[in-house]
Chains A and B, each alone.
Chain A
Amino acid sequence: MTGAGDSLTGIAPCVILGVAGDERTEGFSAALVRAGHPPAPVLDYGRFIEAPDRLSALFPEGRGLLRIDSPGGDPGIRRALLRLGGEDDAEDAGGATRLRPDHGLQRGLTAALQLARRVVPPGVALTHEAETVALFYDKRACHAAMAAHGLPVPRALPPAGSFDALVEAMRAAGLTRVFVKPRFGSGAAGIAALTVARDGIVADSAAEHVPGAGPGVLHHSHRLRRYRGAEAVALIDTILAQDAHVEQWVPKAALDGGPCDLRVLVVDGEPAHSVLRKARGPITNLDLGGRRGEADALRALAPPAVWEAMRADCRRFARLFPQPFHVALDVALTVGLRRHVFFEANAFGDLIRRVRHEGLDPYEWQVARLPGWIAARRPVGLAA
């Protein structure tokens, strides 16, 4: 990076609100150091919520950058966020793998980010704003926002409270295959790929009922399995009861013998790092057996205009939702390689391992882009 002196004044001090010691905060801090900046102090969500002044105290000169990172899955942070969002602790029984209707967590995270905005001095730039994080975390709302802006997304079905209601909605829409996704959440936890055919019902999911936990409780098993018949119905009923977003299962293009999609990290409005996720079945997430691949392998197959249209829509997405410094989009080229379709947007999707863009890892790339991003957003008069 050139002009380290200038950029240092632009982004120093850089503070991370996240989870101390996790791969994300360590990765970003290490990238700062490699670029000649001091490491970023990390304030844990839990400690921040306990005493919000701890955050403002980290910006003694009234300027700098607050990097908002994922709150992760730590139970202590989760409890603190739920309390902040007005949820009672008792709801949180059942261990780390239990799938919950996470509206409460979303409310807590929104409250935490609004609080952060309030307590840090106005001269501090935040990488994320509460409203956008909340939007991305709500799969139904995010889908609706993308659709409203004309971005290509699968057709959504109206909310259904039970398997039977869902089947009615599918019939009305002429669909036999849908994705059922918990409305709030990230990753593939609780997602099911459902087929309802004349002769049977099949659902692929990593969610499972655990003996003794009760019929309404699902756990994330971290392992995909195939449910059939009554088992599939029970699974879908439980996911729907916790509030779900249902959309058409759009056939993804295949590579190396299986369907694939892309995670595209858009930083400061431009597509940067991408990773291809290849699977044997409909769910491609890397933590559920999806295999990593080179995005260029898919690019080589696709007509150049199709690839460029996908990237142009990634940029358009970033222009429509400009607040977050970065966003990770899950996007597929469809069977036939003639179009693309967006599935999800992730506010904290920048942990992409072993992929470089112009020689830099995702954190290094962000560090390099931060000064320009801050300069472009800082209102006149607030310049340091």
Chain B
Amino acid sequence: MPYENLTTFFGKPVEDFQNGMEAWDFERAVPRFRVAYDSEDSVPAMLGSYAALPGAEATDALVIGYWQGDDSEGTSQAVVEALVSYAERFPNLRALFLGDIVSEENEISWINQSDLSALWPAFPQLEHMQVRGATGLALGRFEAPRLTALIVESGGLPRRVVGEALAAGAPELRHLELWLGTDEYGGDSTPADFADLFDGRLFPKLNTLALRDCAYADDLAAAVAAAPVLERVSTLDLSLGNLTDAGAEALIASPAVAKLSRLDLHHHFLTEATMTRLAALGPAVDLSEQQEPDEYAGEIYRNIAVSE
């Protein structure tokens, strides 16, 4: 579903860095590194050029775009290695987006990620970590003392990666966002995988809980609606999934949900009557993008927003 590249990131405009640039306004813009369709460049080489610029140590945010180039099997591994090798030039890096790739470049489930373990010790100042694509992805077991936002966008998030995210040593984490996706693309998590999180044993400062693009949204809603973690968060985001009235009933019945300040359910399969009740619940509720089920060969399909 991501159709458009970032225009801003970490509070600044995003601009493409191009090989040959001899200067960069580090205060003004966040550089994005990506290869064009006919380019001989590579993202690691561009990172090297950027890292060599005088003043590069002021960099606080980096965006990595399409890296594949002519290597059709190209994973993010070479990019990760390059980032780690230039880590000394980026001592103040606070935000990283690895995979600002739109569907015209590559569908989210075809993005070949890699093991990101080495990034965490290399960039201890990281506050915002965002990854698109879960194929081949590993977060590793990691400590991220300053991390406040962890976002993994995918069309199918393996429970192994869910487990890595939830095991993070991230005491400052405020925003946890996981796109769970479908089992057709490796999304094999279940509500039970979130038991520790829902019980409130993780991330004491959590403020936004976003479990999006979920193919078992009703079960997830039921599991989270009565969970102690809701006493802690002010925003619950179950958007992009296949929520129906069954899941909504659990949300409506929950006193903790009524006390949220925001409830994001956009892209859903709710009926009008249920939408009306949700809207009156208390939080600001996003009920946009109501979906109609597809019928194919006598079967009803309620598709999540992002799978391929």
* Chain A residues proximal to chain B, CB less than 8 Å: 152, 154-155, 170-171, 173-177, 195, 197-200, 202, 226, 248, 250-252, 254, 257-259, 280-282, 334-336, 338-339, 341
Contacts and interface: CB of A to CB of B under 8 A. Distances in A.
Contact of B3 (A171, A258, A334, A336): A258
A216 B55 CA distance: 62
B124 interface: no
Given A176-B110, A195-B107, A257 B3 contact: yes
A251 B68 contact: no
Contact of A335 (B72, B104, B107, B109): B104
Most buried by B among A155, A174, A202, A341: A174
Nearest to A153: B38
Contacts of A199: 109-110, 135
Given A176-B68, A176-B72, A259-B104, A338 B36 contact: yes
A298 to B, nearest CB: 13
Contact of A195 (B70, B110, B135): B110
B112 interface: yes
Interface of B: 3-5, 16, 34, 36-38, 66, 68-73, 102-107, 109-110, 112, 135, 308
B4 A254 contact: yes
A174 B69 contact: yes
A171 B104 contact: no
Given A336-B34, A338-B36, A282 B110 contact: no
Contacts of B4: 254, 257
In the A-B complex, the 6 residue pairs with the smallest Cβ-Cβ separation, listed nearest first, are A174-B70, A251-B104, A197-B110, A254-B4, A259-B104, A251-B105
A280 B71 contact: no
B104 A282 contact: yes
A202 B308 contact: yes
B66 A251 contact: yes
B114 to A, nearest CB: 13
B63 to A, nearest CB: 12
Contacts of A254: 3-5, 102, 104
B102 A251 contact: yes
Nearest to A198: B73
Given A335-B102, A336-B34, A339-B36, A202 B70 contact: no
Contacts of A339: 36, 38
Contacts of A250: 37-38
23 contacts: A154-B37, A171-B72, A174-B72, A176-B72, A176-B106, A177-B106, A195-B106, A195-B107, A198-B110, A198-B135, A199-B109, A199-B110, A200-B110, A251-B37, A254-B3, A254-B5, A259-B103, A334-B36, A334-B37, A335-B34, A336-B36, A338-B16, A338-B36
